[in-house]
Amino acid sequence: MRVMRFMDETGDRAITLDDPKSLQDAEDRFNDLVILKKTHRAMDTKGKGPISRFEDAGEETLVFPNLVGG
């Protein structure tokens, strides 16, 4: 079962990609954060990444805020 985890200021939200509605929800959120706003990165939990296309997401994918050093 494929899972996409989104980490943001509200916490950690996991979306299981097991039906058309959840699949569309995850794709919309991925495109908004990673593609349009460019505020987040995506990486497969097996070390594949960065992922820049929703179609390339693996079995479990993390979407997390960009890290900023100071």
What is the number of structural domains in the chain? 1
What pLDDT is stored for residue 47 in this prediction?
A: 82
pLDDT at 32: 93
Residue-wise pLDDT for 3-19, tens only, equals: 999 998 889 999 999 99
In a domain, 44, yes or no: yes
Residue 65 is assigned to a structural domain of this protein: no
In a domain, 21, yes or no: yes
Task: Determine, yes or no, domain membership for 31.
Answer: yes
Structural domain range at position 25: 3-60
Q: Is residue 30 part of a domain?
A: yes
CB 34 within 8 A of CB 41: yes
What does pTM read for this prediction?
0.86
Question: What are the distances in angstroms from CA 67 to CA 6, 19, 38, 41?
Answer: 15, 32, 12, 9
* Average pLDDT in the chain: 91
